[in-house]
């Protein structure tokens, strides 16, 4: 038995960052920036007024001083002249500061009669000027790799970056296996159930940045599995669900091996879960997940999402767990790392009594997996626990 972290390390050996492609900035949110970006301009590109008011010389910014208004500077339309002693330029937020001026008296502190203004209130010491390059300068960099967020997109736009280099989205092929499965919308026979894991995993992997493709259900026959693997060709990661243990009815490994998989089984000391099958098959990484719905989804969080991050070039660091206080006591844990379905609210973690690995109803009301180390002692009400948000 190996730990979750050891299993993850073995799975990371199966994947490498994908090639880079260019996308328009408007389509780049959530994508992984693959190459450092360098600003090609200063922002602001000029000293700019941060207020509506009058641009004057700072040395003349005193209550009761009077000025003649000689022009106007608005955003996009600077004043081309120079401000001399006793002169002012009407200025608006974002406008370039006129030559000769280095102070903006805000309009609320000024009274105006025709072309003459008087500073009617103490103008203070803040010049209300944003210095050129105060936000960023030519050469300022945005580091890669990083998954782009809305605020990154705004920053890249302001740097005048219309297209960005991002890692290609990993294509993940999802194959449910088993004679017992039918697709949602079909009428199941008396011994059958609905394929649900691939639908949940597709959603999860797409949130992680993958392009997840749901293939037809593979039946428990060589021919059907062979067809499914054929349809998966071109994927970066092939995931089968079900048929991954070593029972009589587990044909998945056999067929994958015929197709060139060097397979390995990892018996992982975790709950829920079962042995994972994994290997390289042609140009793809291949992972076989257990068929129990909750096991499959938990393995998705613990193994597939990190593999997608690695394919995206985000490396193999795992985002840190969060911490919360336990609401209610918990008995001691067994020898396997346990990922317990729970609800975390206001820093309190309530762990569900029913931890059966087939209960999707419980998983759907959970928002966290509370992580218990192997052989963890019993925990009292209020104990600090670690959790993975889901």
- From the list 19, 114, 139, 185, which residue makes contact with a copy of itself (rule: CB under 8 A)? 185
- From the list 8, 43, 326, 387, which residue makes contact with a copy of itself (rule: CB under 8 A)? 43
What are the residues whose beta carbons fall under 8 Å from the beta carbon of 23, sequence distance 6 or more? Answer: 31, 163, 164, 166
Q: Which of residues 85-124 bind a copy of itself (CB under 8 A)?
A: 92-96
- From the list 15, 83, 204, 285, which residue makes contact with a copy of itself (rule: CB under 8 A)? 204
Paired residues of 292 in beta bridges:
none
Residue 60 CB-half CA count within 13 A? 22
- From the list 71, 134, 282, 328, which residue makes contact with a copy of itself (rule: CB under 8 A)? 134
Decide: is 306 part of the binding site for a copy of itself (CB under 8 A).
no
Q: In the complex with a copy of itself, which residue's Cβ is closer, 155 or 281?
A: 155
Tell me which stretch binds a copy of itself (CB under 8 A): 14-22, 76-84, 254-262, 370-378.
Answer: 76-84
Decide: is 347 part of the binding site for a copy of itself (CB under 8 A).
yes
Decide: is 140 part of the binding site for a copy of itself (CB under 8 A).
yes
32: helix, coil or strand?
strand
Decide: 308 and 209 in contact? Cβ < 8 Å.
yes
- Tokens (6 digits) for 10: 């073995």
As measured in angstroms, the least distance from the Cβ of 260 to a copy of itself is: 27
CA distance 384 to 378: 12
Q: In the complex with a copy of itself, which residue's Cβ is closer, 13 or 356?
A: 356
Decide: is 1 part of the binding site for a copy of itself (CB under 8 A).
no
As measured in angstroms, the least distance from the Cβ of 291 to a copy of itself is: 7
Q: Name the one residue in this structure whose structure tokens are 């736009």.
A: 157
Decide: 51 and 57 in contact? Cβ < 8 Å.
no
Decide: is 361 part of the binding site for a copy of itself (CB under 8 A).
yes
- From the list 190, 283, 317, 331, which residue makes contact with a copy of itself (rule: CB under 8 A)? 190
CA distance 226 to 228: 5
Q: Which of residues 146-165 bind a copy of itself (CB under 8 A)?
A: 148-163
Buried b (16+ CB within 10 A) or exposed e, 106-122: bbebbeeeeeebebeee
Decide: is 32 part of the binding site for a copy of itself (CB under 8 A).
no
Choose among 30, 5, 22, 24: nearest CA to 309.
30
Q: Which of residues 260-279 bind a copy of itself (CB under 8 A)?
A: none
- Tokens (6 digits) for 55: 């641009």
Tell me which stretch binds a copy of itself (CB under 8 A): 7-15, 57-65, 244-252, 329-337.
Answer: 244-252
Q: In the complex with a copy of itself, which residue's Cβ is closer, 108 or 381?
A: 108
Tell me the pairing of strands 237-241 and 284-289.
Answer: parallel
Q: How many residues bind a copy of itself (CB under 8 A)?
A: 93
CA distance 8 to 148: 25
- Tokens (6 digits) for 175: 């194959």
As measured in angstroms, the least distance from the Cβ of 357 to a copy of itself is: 8
């Amino acid at each position: 038995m190996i730990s979750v972290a050891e299993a993850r390390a073995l799975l990371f050996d199966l994947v490498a960052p994908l090639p880079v492609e260019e996308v328009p900035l408007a389509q780049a949110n959530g994508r992984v920036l693959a190459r450092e970006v360098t600003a090609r301009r200063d922002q602001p590109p000029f000293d700019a007024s941060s207020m509506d008011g009058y641009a004057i010389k700072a040395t003349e910014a005193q209550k009761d001083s009077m000025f003649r208004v000689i022009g106007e500077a608005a955003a996009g339309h600077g004043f081309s002249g120079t401000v001399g002693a006793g002169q002012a330029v009407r200025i608006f937020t974002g406008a370039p500061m006129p030559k000769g001026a280095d102070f903006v008296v805000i309009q609320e502190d000024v009274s105006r009669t025709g072309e003459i203004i008087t500073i009617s209130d103490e103008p203070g010491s803040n010049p209300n000027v944003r210095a050129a390059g105060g936000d960023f300068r030519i050469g300022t960099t945005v580091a890669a790799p990083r998954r782009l967020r809305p605020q990154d997109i705004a920053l890249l736009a302001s740097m005048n970056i219309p297209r960005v280099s991002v890692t290609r989205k990993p294509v993940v092929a999802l194959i449910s296996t088993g004679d017992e499965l039918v697709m949602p919308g079909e009428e199941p026979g008396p011994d059958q159930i609905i394929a649900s894991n691939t639908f949940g995993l597709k959603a999860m992997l797409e949130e992680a940045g993958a392009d997840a493709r749901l293939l037809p259900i593979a039946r428990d026959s060589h021919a059907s599995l062979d067809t499914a693997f054929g349809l998966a060709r071109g994927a970066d990661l092939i995931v089968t669900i079900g048929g991954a243990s070593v029972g009589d009815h587990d044909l998945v490994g056999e067929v994958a091996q015929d197709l060139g998989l060097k397979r390995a089984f990892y018996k992982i000391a975790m709950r829920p879960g079962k042995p994972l099958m994994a290997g390289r098959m042609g140009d793809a990484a291949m992972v076989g997940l257990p068929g129990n719905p909750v096991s499959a989804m938990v393995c998705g969080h613990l193994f597939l999402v990190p593999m997608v991050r690695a394919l995206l070039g985000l490396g193999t660091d795992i985002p840190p767990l969060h911490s919360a206080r336990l609401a209610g006591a918990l008995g001691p844990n067994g020898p396997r790392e346990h990922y317990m379905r729970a609800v975390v609210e206001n820093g309190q973690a309530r762990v569900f009594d029913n931890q059966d690995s087939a209960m999707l109803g419980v998983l759907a009301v959970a928002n966290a997996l509370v992580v218990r180390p192997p052989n963890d002692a019993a925990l009292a009400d209020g104990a600090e626990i670690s959790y993975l948000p889901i």
